[in-house]
Structure 1
Amino acid sequence: MSDSPVSESPYEALGVPSSASEDELRRAYRRLLRETHPDTGGDPTRFIAVQRAWELIGTPAARADYDRGHTYSPGGSERVSWAPPPRASSAPSSTRPGARSYGHPGGWRRERFLRLLQEWVGRGVAIDDPYDPALVRRAPRELRRILADALAEEATARLVSELGIGYTVWHDVATGEPEDKLDHVVLGPTGLFAILSEDFGGVVRVRRGEVDGVSVEGDRPLHALASRARVIARAARIKFGGLLLVVPDDELEEPYVVAGSSRGALMAVVRRSVLPALLRDGLPGARTVGGTELFDLRTRLQTVITFV
């Protein structure tokens, strides 16, 4: 059970309201342990989720800590922070030169979240901390999903910023309506990549060339990624080598899964931690670039790219 704003809460995992009594929590936990235990034919994933939920709210102290916006672990509690990171944190942590970066990763979704959160709370109502976990967890799922995706974009941006000076990265790239943006465009010796950073709040799989899972809720993110990349490709008269959908590590069982191709560009769903190595080593089968072509592509993209 991750600390993502859109992930299942421990109350949801146990199937009880947040107002449930201690006895109701205990009965729900014991019943679900029996129902989900792998030895009796239960779902191992659900079994682990039930155990993790009990760790978070199974005792009065842990429950009070969680309800105040903390996460509990055997070693103590730690405040969840969903506030935007300092701008300086997007710079490489090492002393070697980082990738050239343009745009503000997660910025558009941050602004959208704050605006919609104010509308949900009520106009004129003061919000002391819009990123207070206790407040965010009460918000509708669509609002929590916006914040989760902003966090996902920022996490990807931190990783790609350390690829090195041979790479150029553009964030929040406009392709039409703001919600139809590309989260990242990455250019380097291993190729040209269009990237979406997503957090679905649950495990996903690739089926028939598209992302599938209960948490996907009928969306077609790979189709959307290909359509948005096509807008930039036509405007700049270039070709992408790879179209990557980046998700948190716990949402994908494999390091990455190739989902097919779109107009010569390989499509893949990638664990976030695997992304830097994939961009440095190249996506097997994807077209690479080098020499003067790298400079030509950078010039073409700089000419046409605008930001949301």
Structure 2
Amino acid sequence: MFDSPLSSSAYEVLGVEPTADEEMLRKAFRLRLRQTHPDTGGDAATFVQVQRAWELVGTPAARAAYDRGHGFGAQPAEQWSGWRAPAPRADTRPRARSFGQPGGWRRERYLTLIREWAGRGVTLDDPYDPALVRSAPHHLRRLLADALAEEATARVVADLGMGYTVWHDVMAAGRDADPDAKIDHIVLGPSGLYGILSEDFGGPVRIRRSELIGDGVAGAPIAGLIARMRVTARAAGVRFGGAIVVLPDDDVMDPITELSKVRGTPVVVVSRSALSTVLRRGVAGARAIGGNEVFDVRTRLQQTVRFA
């Protein structure tokens, strides 16, 4: 929960400055425990965050490691900031067939805008430096958070093996559409054809009336995903079996939450660690695909999709 560009730092959760001494930190932790404890009217999710924050900075060794990795105090030049695009893995196992660049559009947009925000003529040694990211406007941190979420989902799908095909950053309405109005991933496998939205809102997310709600949630993410899937389905002449929304593990109460159908499409909200389970077993109400139909659907999509 503290590794997202959108999340509060451990110090912010505890309500102290990063320069606080050990005694101030300990007092703040005890106060926040009393304030957030569910038995005294506090919020359970916030209570867990307070405990996790203390684990990260409650001892000198843990605090030193946290500060190095999150841009508090001096950071060695060779220190990895944690938010760079991952390097290709030297892995010889069969992988899912993949097209497009997961998170590519948002990561490129982030790099352009972070340099504009830093100032014309300024050279950024590391556009992913934690201190820089933490001080950037919310819309820039959101771009990076979403790029990271899409890349994480892509790694999960790739590990499903060669029986799956995935298209990343798919435009919903041809070349002239808004690149931000895209489908993050389309996954085809034995359990069906799915449109996937990878999100990171920077905090806990709840579900109300088949839609996501939370402090960081804007608009109607599920309804938007369904609308883009319908456009793509008409263009390619295919039928999606369901929609999947993937969120960070710490931001959902249950790893798998199946919703009622939205505009006739089964929807499931899953934690990232549960995604492979859902894609292997399928979404309730979705139609499995097998035999020659898999090749037909793959060919139709391959001939139709455009990438952001």
CA distance in 1, matches of 2:255, 2:297: 29
Is the 8 Å Cα contact of residues 244 and 270 (structure 1) preserved in structure 2? yes
Superposed CA RMSD: 2.4
CA distance in 2, matches of 1:298, 1:210: 29
1:132 counterpart letter in structure 2: D
1:10 counterpart letter in structure 2: A
CA distance in 2, matches of 1:22, 1:280: 48
CA distance in 2, matches of 1:255, 1:68: 31
Alignment match, 2:107? 110
Percent of aligned pairs with the same amino acid:
59
Q: Within 5 Å, which residues of 2 pair with 1:201-280?
A: 201-216=202-217, 218-280=218-280
Is the 8 Å Cα contact of residues 55 and 62 (structure 1) preserved in structure 2? yes
Deviations 1:109-135 (A, max 9, x none): 110111111122112111111111122
Alignment match, 1:299? 299
2:127 counterpart letter in structure 1: P
Q: Within 5 Å, which residues of 2 pair with 1:66-81?
A: 66-70=66-70, 80-81=81-82
Deviation at 1:22, TM superposition (A): 6.2
Secondary structure of 1:206's match? strand
Alignment match, 2:201? 200
How many pairs does the alignment contain? 298
Alignment match, 2:96? 99
Q: Within 5 Å, which residues of 2 pair with 1:119-158?
A: 119-158=116-155
Secondary structure of 2:194's match? strand
Q: What are the ranges of 5 or more consecutive residues in structure 2 without an aligned counterpart?
A: 73-78
- After TM superposition, the score normalised by the length of structure 1 is 0.88
Deviation at 1:210, TM superposition (A): 0.1
Alignment match, 2:166? 169
Secondary structure of 1:215's match? coil
Residues 1:41 and 2:38 aligned together: no
Q: What are the ranges of 5 or more consecutive residues in structure 1 without an aligned counterpart?
A: 73-77
2:280 counterpart letter in structure 1: R
- After TM superposition, the score normalised by the length of structure 2 is 0.88
Secondary structure of 1:214's match? coil
CA distance in 1, matches of 2:277, 2:60: 43
Is the 8 Å Cα contact of residues 14 and 53 (structure 1) preserved in structure 2? yes
Q: Which 4+ stretches in 1 moved above 6 angstroms?
A: none
CA distance in 2, matches of 1:224, 1:17: 39
Is the 8 Å Cα contact of residues 98 and 158 (structure 2) preserved in structure 1? yes
